[in-house]
A = this chain, B = another copy of it.
Amino acid sequence: MKIAVAKETDAAEPRVALTPDVVKKLKGLGADISVETGAGVASGVTDAAYEEAGATIAASRADALAGADVLLTVRRPSPESLAGLKPGALVIGTMDPYGQADAIAALATANVSAFAMELMPRITRAQVMDVLSSQANLAGYRAVIDAAAEFGRAMPQMMTAAGTVPPARAFVMGAGVAGLQAIATARRLGAVVSATDVRPAAKEQVASLGAKFVAVEDDEFKQAETAAGYAKPMSAEYQAKQAELVAAHIAKQDIVITTALIPGRPAPRLVTAAMVKSMKPGSVIVDLAVERGGNVEGAIPGEVVEIDGVKIVGHLNVAGRLAASSSALYAKNLSSFLETMISKETKELAVNWDDELVKATALTRDGAVIHPIAKPAEAN
């Protein structure tokens, strides 16, 4: 069984799908591991570190992939970049699967079995494979570091001989994994933190991190958490009431971090241009949803814009800005899933296509698209 890892083909992607720790683990399961030279450099992993862990360094992508049973990847590869893999090889990574029927059909045509890690069920057994959580956690941390780097003041209160520097006031919108880590990090740095979320369960989590919870707590709010633990879209009426509360709150903040994402939908607009305008000059907003349309009016993907003295930070791939840590966790997510598809006896691949994790994530098999998310509508 040969497992391949190559440099990501998107130059803006510094992460890598495999780290030396995981190489050792997969070697123990009977795999041969081939890593394209330089694949880990942007994540602080040298070729030598891979070799020391037991991988073979391949001089090119083609060499790494030649005859491989499995390709581990960060982003969905193009069909052309898969040349050399065994027919039916597993390609495991984040596949950005929503609304991408054509791209997924092309993977079927390339005759690989593609797995979208984003579709992993949120069940206990699969927690260790949850790439959305592992990357969101680091993005939440990094959002605060990015805010602190753009902010012209210190975050903590400082008592000095010349007077007191007041603590920054930070407001985190969306208290999922990223938001909770942002709250925790801003608290570490000494900010006075508040947070909001449409899920009632978030209230207690926010409070337990020492932050103040800010939300319109009406009946709709109390019923808002979906079974999957994701936020569901709220009514226009609720959104208006919440926006009013939030608008008054935002005007008093130094830092706002928005993290509201709903899988498969555009990001909800949480911060309007008027709210941005209400903030003091020198304030900083970080929009972690900028890649999905943005929570903040005026945010531009990949840029830090300044509007009336307020900076709106729209960095892309925020987890990738901590590539060493995010690659380490991502590689563990992937290998934990891959392990479930390797037979301990034969030390070969043995995919159980009836396993719920496989069923939830497999997009393509035997030349066909098999996942409802990307299946052509048959009646059309």
Min distance, Cβ A137 to any Cβ of chain B, angstroms: 6
Chain B contacts for A376, CB-based, 8 A:
none
- Rounded to whole Å, the gap between the CB of A3 and the closest CB of chain B is 18
Please determine whether B134 and A161 come into contact, CB atoms closer than 8 angstroms: yes
- A295 part of interface (Cβ distance < 8 Å): no
Closest 9 CB pairs of A and B: A44-B282, A152-B324, A127-B161, A162-B332, A149-B149, A153-B325, A162-B329, A153-B324, A145-B148
CA distance A234 to B249 in the complex (A): 54
Q: Which of A101-154 contact B (CB under 8 A)?
A: 127-130, 133-134, 137-138, 141-142, 145-146, 148-149, 151-154
A190 interfacial contact with B, CB 8 Å: yes
Cα distance A137–B160 in the bound complex, in angstroms = 9
Interface pair A152/B332, CB less than 8 Å apart: no
Q: Which residues of B contact A329 (CB under 8 A)?
A: 160, 162-163, 165
CA distance A168 to B190 in the complex (A): 19
Residues in B with CB closer than 8 Å to A369 are none
A163 touches B332 (CB 8 A): yes
Checking B130, B142, B152, B328 against A44 with a beta-carbon cut-off of 8 angstroms, the contacting residue is B152
Q: Is the CB of B154 within 8 A of A46?
A: no
User: Is the Cβ of B154 less than 8 Å from the Cβ of A325?
Assistant: yes
Would you list which residues of chain A between 169 and 205 have a CB under 8 Å from chain B? 185, 188-190
Q: Which residues of chain B are near A324, meaning CB under 8 Å?
A: 152-153, 282
Q: At the interface, yes or no: A309 with Cβ under 8 Å from chain B?
A: yes
User: Is A239 an interface residue when CB atoms closer than 8 A count as contact?
Assistant: no
Chain B, residue nearest A152 (CB) = B324
Q: A43 touching B152 by the CB < 8 A rule?
A: yes
- Bound together, the chains give a CA A251 to CA B128 distance in angstroms of 32
B156 touches A188 (CB 8 A): yes
**Are A325 and B152 closer than 8 Å at their CB atoms?**
yes
CB distance from A302 to the nearest CB of B (A): 17
In the complex, A280 has a CB within 8 A of chain B: yes
Q: Determine if A158 is an interface residue (Cβ-Cβ < 8 Å).
A: yes
- Chain B's closest residue to A43 (CB) is B152
Q: Which A1-48 residues have C-beta < 8 A from chain B? A: 14, 41, 43-46
Of the residues B128, B130, B161, B165, contact of A128 by C-beta under 8 Å: B161
Report the bound CA distance from A62 to B330 in whole Å.
60
**A188-B188, A189-B188, A189-B189 are known contacts. Are A154 and B141 too (CB-CB below 8 A)?**
yes
Residue A214, interface by CB 8 Å = no
Segment 286-309 of A: residues with Cβ below 8 Å from B: 309
Q: Which residues of B contact A153 (CB under 8 A)?
A: 44, 322, 324-325
CB distance from A161 to the nearest CB of B (A): 4
> A336 to B161, alpha carbons, bound, how many Å?
11
A367: B residues at CB distance < 8 A: none
A323 within 8 A of B: yes
With A325-B154, A329-B160 known to touch, is A44 a contact of B149 (CB < 8 Å)? Answer: no
Residues of B within 8 A of A328 (CB): 163, 165
- How long is the Cα–Cα vector from A154 to B158 in the complex, in angstroms? 24
- Shortest beta-carbon distance, A98 to chain B, in Å? 23
Q: List 20 A-B contacts (CB under 8 A).
A: A44-B309, A46-B309, A127-B161, A128-B161, A128-B162, A133-B162, A134-B161, A138-B158, A145-B145, A148-B148, A148-B149, A151-B322, A152-B323, A152-B324, A152-B325, A162-B329, A162-B332, A162-B336, A165-B328, A188-B190
